[in-house]
Every structure is written in structure tokens, then in C-alpha cells.
Amino acid sequence: MRRELSGIGASRGLAMGRARRHVVATPEVKKRHITPDEIPNELQRLHHAIAQVRQEMQRLRTQLHGTVSREMGELFELPALLLDDPQLLQALDADIRDGLCSADYALHRQRNRIARVFLEMDDAYFGSRIDDIDQVIERILGALGQTDMSVHGASGEILIANRIAPAEIILLQSQGVLAIVTTGGNTHSHSAILARSLQLPLVVAAPLALHSLDDGDWVMVDGSLGQVIRFPDAADLEQHRQRLVSHRQQSLDLNRLRHAPTRSRDGHDIQLWANAESAEDIRHAHTLGATGIGLYRTEFLFLGRQELPDEETQFQAYRALASELDGRCGTLRTLDLGADKAASTGLALHREENPALGLRGIRLALARPDIFRPQLRAILRASAYGRLRILLPMVSNGEEIHATRQLLTELGQELRDEGHPIASEIPLGAMIEVPAAALTLPDFIQTLDFLSIGTNDLAQYLLAADRNNEHLTDLYTPLHPALLRLLADIIQIGKRQQCPVAICGEIAADPRYTRLLLALGLEEFSLHPGNLLEVRQIICDSDLGELRSQAPTLLHAPDRTAIEAWLTEFATP
């Protein structure tokens, strides 16, 4: 019998196939003590299981490619750090040797200890990362019990689950799964972002899915509408066919926009920058007619290493980027890692109670000149080979900009004295992702050449809400009045000072919000190349004058409901 289930569309696309149910359950661990004679065997079991999971996580990481790999690599950082943490490994060994705990029970005890530490930080970000820890612990427990804790799918299936981890999405797509439906989750989670990057349809927050669907049921999924239909009827099937034809035609229409100008219907030119981290990504962006590279993350040079990359290593990488730009401009964001994310490279500092709000981004760079100076020297040297800009992350005040400019002047002269050619001028910009920087921007904007708004972090810090916490879905939203008003203020301040402003957060790549951002006055987007053509089409079909005339109504909206009503009336693609 036909049944329609409602959820929230988290990743667009259409799919139809057989349902496969999967309920993620935490393995039950019973308190068990061992005899002294069993210690060697338990230690061997534990170390073998950890090594097995480490290999699994590395294999999944290698399945990511290009920009998706760079953008989603952080999902694997915490598991990697956990599996290599000497304090954790020593504590597990001590529980087995001194506490005579079984390997399973020792792992259970240490998981609870880590969770208590994270929860005591009273920070939403780290509270949410407990889920990441649990996924790793569950894999190790599965390896200890020689049971497979991973989710599996088959080609042509629709997976129905209570939750899904980002690493599992990679595996499922490689197995041919057509779409995923979860009873929990939200549209801003890492899993949802990854599904969108991989163009895998995903519907979240469909609470009745596991209760209403059985293995083998024929299911139709619309990731745009958040619609799940069990046993679709003839009308559903006809509508599905029509949508597929429509999507195919849209794809053909988008391809015709590859070399078209990004110009609104009433003649306003908009800049579309691309996010890229490899020569392949840059070439792809060129074929799509991107203005340039709006965000090049340099962290990948620092991760997965046993030592810090030296100046020459970084110079070679940045020169390769510059040589691929073909006259366009490339924006290098300086290191945006905290000490908690790259301890194996030598970045580890004293233990921080709350690394998410601690020494990261420009704060870490200025505190560690042994890291910052080689990176800036490498960028300055590479500037002789193409048009480069420097973007500083996690800026809080003008003093950080001033200190960086002084350092750039000093290093520039140093390099010239050494005989290195460098560009005569390299624009310096700041990421606006800390509310303090946004609110005091008029005090230091004159020291900057451009701005890039990181809406993901700005929203989290402004709303005190973690995007990965499904209980905060209604709070963490780009449609919060406070966020929209702050974005509008930043954009207008930039215009008054003739300082270009781009948005590089996820909202810039979401076609649902393109017209909203245009109404706020945005003229530069920095986004994943996969969304560039669709955003361009919406811009070309938009009347900026009309949208901006409606901006006062948008900015006076008292709540999310009113903003959604504005979107429905004025900004629906």
C-alpha cells in the first residue's frame, strides 16, 4: 500500500529503489575482569583491533578526491588523532595491565572518560564530537568482537537508517546506494554536507521511516522536497519520470552557461569565485568560468605529517597553484588549524580546555612565528609566478591585521635582499567569522584589501549553536534574523569603504539562498565548483533592483518563519 513519509531534504536528487534498513546500535559492553595470565592476549587483541580500524579509516579517506577531500578531511582528523593518541593508548594498556580489565571494558571506560572531559567543557562543538568518538569506539569494539559494525548497501538500494556517519556515506556511494533516508540528523551536519558534495540524495529527520519501511519495499526519494514514498503509484511514477526529464534538461541548460557572464537580468555583474585545493580543481574552475580561486586551504600541507612542512615544501605547492591560475587571482588562506588538530606535526601546545575557541587561525600563527614566517615567505616567493592574495582566518581585531602587515613588510624586504623576486603588491584580506570582528569592522577595515565572510563559523559563534547537533536544527540556521542583519551590515560597510566582500561559507553554494544574498547586497560568492553553474543561472534569472528593493522587509523580519515567507515570495528559484 502506498504511503508518503515526510522528512527534510538535505541533499537534492531523485532516486528509486529497494529499501534496506539499518539500525545503528552501540555494542553492549559488560564489565569483565581478567586474570594476570590473560593480559598479553588482551593487549594483543586491543592493538590488533585499533590497527584494523586505523587502516579502515585511512582507506575511506583515500576514497575522497579533489575539493571534496580537502573540505571534508576534517571529519577524519579527530578519529585519526584518537587512534594515535599516546595518552589514550597508555591508559588502555594500564586498564588492562593494572586494572585487569578486558580490552572491551577498558575501551568502554576510556570512552566514558573522554566523553566526560568533552562535556565538562560546556561547548556545543565538542559535545557534538562525542558522536565522532563513538563511531570510532564502535568500530574498535566491532573489531574486538570480530563482528562487522559497518553499514552495508548494495547497488540500486535506498538505505533507511537511524543515523549515518560521514565515513559511511563514502562507502555507501562506492557500493552503489542510490539515496539515504535517516530518522534523525539535520541539513547542516557533516554528513549532509558530504552527501551534497557527492551529489547523493539524502532525506533527514524522517522519524517514521524505520517504522514504516521494510527491507525490499519499493521506495521513491526526492532529496529536494524531503519526500519518501513507499510503493509509489502510477501518478507518482509519472511525476518521477517528468522530474528526471526536467533535471536532465536543467543539466543541459547549465552546461551552456559554462562561458556565459554572471550577469543579472537587469545588467549587474556578479563575481563567482571557486574553492579549490589542487591543479585539477583549478582547471575545473577555469572551465566553468570562475572569476578565480576565492579560497585555497593550506591546511592539507600540515595534516598527516610527522613534521612541519618547511618553507621550500610550501613554496613548491603555492607556486604550482600560481602557475595554474592563467592570469586569474588565487586566494591563499593561511593556516587555520588549532593545536588540537595537528599535534603529530609539532603544533601541540599546552592543553587547551576549549580548542574550538582557543589558539587557532591567526592567533596560532602569530603565537608561533616559527610556523607563520615560513608560510608567509613561501607565499611571497610564489607571488612572483601568478596573482595571489593572502586571507587571514579567525581574525578578531585590527591588531592582528597590523601585526601581519608588519611581518609581511619585514619578510618582503628580507626576501628581496636574498635575491628572491616577489610581487610588488599582494592584497591582504580577513575572514570575518568571529562576531567581535564583524561588530568592530569599521575600526580596521581600512587596513584590508578584501573580506571573506565564513558563515559556518560566524553562525555557530553568533548563535551559540553547533550545526552538527540535531537538537539545534531550528536554532542553527542561515535564516536567523541576527545572522542576516549582521551579514547585511558587513556587506554595506565593505561597500562604503570600497572593500570587496565575498561569502565563502556553505550558504554561498546553496542555490536556495542565492537571491537572499543578492538582496542583502552581496556581489561576490566563493563556492564549491559543483554548484557554480546553478548559482550562475539563478543570478542571470534575477532582477537585482527588485530584490534589493525588498531587502528592508527581509531585514525587519522578526523570526525564521517570516524570513521563509519572504523567500517563498521573492527568492524561490
Distances in whole angstroms, Cα of residue 522 to Cα of each of 166, 271, 431, 511: 31, 10, 15, 14
| Annotation marks residue 190 as catalytic | yes
Closest among 537, 547, 448 to 500, alpha carbons compared: 448
d(CA 500, CA 442): 14
The DSSP letter of residue 502 is E
The CA-atom distances, in angstroms, between 477 and each of 98, 244, 397, 509 are 48, 30, 26, 15
Q: Are 355 and 391 in contact (CB under 8 A)?
A: no
101 catalytically annotated: no
- Bridge-partner residues for 3, per DSSP? 230
Q: Among the options 101, 188, 480, 504, which is catalytic?
A: 504
Of 188, 190, 284, 286, the active-site residue reads: 190
Q: Which uninterrupted H or E stretch holds 22?
A: strand 14-22
- Number of Cβ within a 10 Å radius of residue 216: 11
Q: Which of 247, 292, 226 is nearest to 452 (CA)?
A: 292
CA-only gyration radius of the chain, Å? 25
Q: Which three cell numbers stand for residue 202?
A: 539524502
Cβ proximity of 196 and 206 under 8 Å: no
Provide long-range contacts, Cβ within 8 A and 24+ apart, for 304-308: 304/80, 305/344, 305/345, 306/344, 306/345, 307/345, 307/346, 308/345, 308/346, 308/347, 308/371, 308/374
Catalytic residues: 190, 504
